[in-house]
Copies of this chain bind each other. A is one copy, B any other.
Amino acid sequence: MRQVAVVGTGKTAFGAFPDRDLRSLAVEAGRKCLENGQARPDQIQAFYLGNFAGPSFTGQNHLAPYISTALGMKGIPATRFEAACASGGSAFFHAVSAVMAGLYDTVMVLGVEKMTSQSTARVTEILASAGEVSGEIAAGSTFPSLFGMIARRHMFEFGTTRENLAAVAVKNHENGALNPDAHMRKVITLEQALNARMIAEPLGLYDCSLISDGAAAVIVTAMERAGEFNRKPVRVLGIAQASDYLALDQKDDITTFPAVRAAARKAYELAGLGPREVEFAEVHDCFTIAEVIATEDLGFCERGEGGRFASAGCTRRGGEKPVNASGGLKSKGHPVGATGVAQICDVVQQIRCEAGERQLTRHSIGLAQNLGGSGATCVVSILGAS
Contacts and interface: CB of A to CB of B under 8 A. Distances in A.
A20 B93 CA distance: 33
A83 B90 contact: no
A55 B56 CA distance: 8
Given A77-B241, A241-B77, A134 B376 contact: no
Nearest to A82: B80
Interface in A26-80: 47, 52-53, 55-56, 58-66, 68-69, 73-80
Contact of A103 (B75, B101, B242, B373): B101
A94 interface: yes
Contact of A243 (B76, B98, B100, B250): B76
Looking at A21, A64, A132, A258, the one whose CB has the most chain B CB atoms below 10 A away is A64
Contact of A101 (B82, B93, B98, B262): B98
A161 interface: no
A245 B65 contact: yes
Tallying the copies of this chain within the complex gives 2
A94 B1 CA distance: 17
A65 B83 CA distance: 8
Interface string A362-375: 00000000001100
A296 B264 CA distance: 49
Contact of A56 (B56, B97, B241, B259): B56
Nearest to A240: B77
B244 A60 contact: no
A102 interface: yes
A9 to B, nearest CB: 23
A377 interface: yes
A313 B103 CA distance: 40
A90 B62 CA distance: 12
A191 B60 CA distance: 38
A130 interface: yes
Q: What does DSSP make chain A's interface, helix, strand, loop or mixed?
A: mixed
Contacts of A64: 82-83, 243, 377
A59 B129 contact: yes
A347 interface: no
A84 interface: yes
Given A98-B97, A133-B59, A133-B60, A75 B246 contact: no
Contacts of A126: 55, 61
B130 A75 contact: no
Contact of A55 (B55, B59, B132): B55
A300 interface: no
Contacts of A83: 62, 64-65, 78-80
A262 B61 CA distance: 23
Given A66-B246, A75-B243, A94-B94, 19 more contacts: A1-B102, A61-B126, A61-B130, A62-B83, A62-B129, A62-B246, A62-B377, A63-B82, A64-B82, A65-B376, A69-B246, A74-B243, A74-B245, A75-B244, A75-B262, A77-B241, A79-B94, A82-B82, A98-B98
